[in-house]
Chains A and B, each alone.
Chain A
Amino acid sequence: MKKIKILIIGLFVIALLSGCSLKSNEKKELDISQIRTISDLATIETYYHNVAKLNKEKSNIFAQDRELWIEYTGTGKVGIEMSKVDMKMSGNKVIITIPPAKLLSFSVDENKISDDNYYYNSDNKWLFKNEISIEEETAAINVAQENMKKDIEGNTALLNQAQNRAKDLIEKYIIQISSISEKEYKIEWIYDKNEN
């Protein structure tokens, strides 16, 4: 009998503790996973008008098909990795190899997304609702973001423009510093088209 009492009390304590641990897991400490050193020179910022359309068919005949449209502005920053710029001297020539431009970051313009940018058709009022969950809505925005990302990465004119602007920015300082020499140097640029 005593053993059973101990067992019951033990189980009760375990249940209490596990309850507490679940609750404390609800709010985790921020996990700073890493600080990384980078050398990204962003030279072009792009603005995209994105429209995500979600169509959720009814799962039973009493429900009705639902649609959600979201329009918002997405932004992307394009540029080069400075650490991949290579400089070589050859007589009075400076040969600088500049890496290809790439998409460095992309996000949603928080000032251009609000309740007014969400459009729905109505749902049944009482029974047999076909609700669009927040997870489905998040998935729709994610598809639009990936779409924008692909568009930027495939826009060679834009990438070339970003690479050219990086070249202009770097050249300005190289010319400025060259005044410490009596000699005159000629700068030659090599546009690397391949990502290393």
Chain B
Amino acid sequence: MEVKEMENQTSQKNRKTKKVKQKNTDNKKIKIKNIFAFIIVSLVFVIVLNVLFGRGKTTITATSTLTKISEISELSTAEYTYNGIAVKYKNDKEKKGNEEYYVSYEGKVTAGFDFNEITIEINKKSKKIYMILPEIEINNVNVDIGKLDYLKVKKTPESGESQNAYKLCKEDLENDIRNDTDFYNTAKQNAENTLIAFMNPWINNLNSDYTIEFKTKEAK
């Protein structure tokens, strides 16, 4: 009898423990469900807030004010169009493996001389008009700052770097063109052709016995 009672008590205890365990499991499930629900609601909330407030739009405005005008007299007779690539080295130490980024650019170089510096000498005996031209110089080295394109090697160029990249490209372009004799010769030849085409009809009308000869002014 006592044994039976004890068995009953044990089975009742077991049932109770099972019930408590079941309840705990149910509670855990509810908790997990609640956490998931909270995460989902939070995500939806963040997305809604982002849609409402996080527009991510970029706008650019610009103003330009004319500050100064100066008179010049540059005759450009040859133009070189360049598509080049300049390299930015870390701490400007030029060596392989030290590249920070590459920057590609579109540039134009023009050469010619100061039109106001042409000297004309007329020799009435030999019927010659000497046009003494200044030496050919580089008039403009222009890099289109709006078309700079970057290729990262070690470091993504940061904002504020465009002015350094621009100077780098101009330097690169100047270095390449400085010693190009073909370019200077083309500029010189075309300067003479331009002046002949312009002056010849006038000279022929004035006195067709006269011919033009070109000389180059010695560099100062």
A-to-B contact residues, CB < 8 Å? 26-28, 30-61, 63, 68, 72-74, 77, 79, 82-83, 85, 87, 89, 94, 104-108, 110, 113-115, 117-118, 120, 131-148, 151, 155, 158, 161, 165, 169-170, 173-174, 176-181, 183, 185
Contacts and interface: CB of A to CB of B under 8 A. Distances in A.
A43 B72 CA distance: 5
Contacts of A180: 122, 124, 129, 203, 206-207, 210
B84 A31 contact: yes
B60 A42 contact: no
A56 B147 CA distance: 20
Interface residues of B, number: 88
Contacts of B159: 68, 118, 120, 131-134, 136-137
B203 A48 contact: no
B54 A137 contact: no
B142 interface: yes
Given A63-B54, A134-B158, A107 B72 contact: no
22 contacts: A30-B84, A31-B82, A31-B83, A33-B81, A36-B78, A39-B190, A41-B76, A44-B71, A50-B63, A51-B63, A55-B58, A55-B59, A59-B56, A68-B159, A105-B108, A105-B110, A132-B159, A134-B150, A141-B145, A145-B146, A147-B62, A177-B122
A61 B49 contact: yes
Contacts, number: 267
B76 A42 contact: yes
B1 to A, nearest CB: 73
Nearest to A51: B63
Contact of A28 (B57, B73, B85, B158): B85
Contacts of B85: 27-28, 30
Given A44-B70, A61-B46, A143-B60, A35 B186 contact: yes
A148 B65 CA distance: 8
Contact of B56 (A40, A57, A87): A57
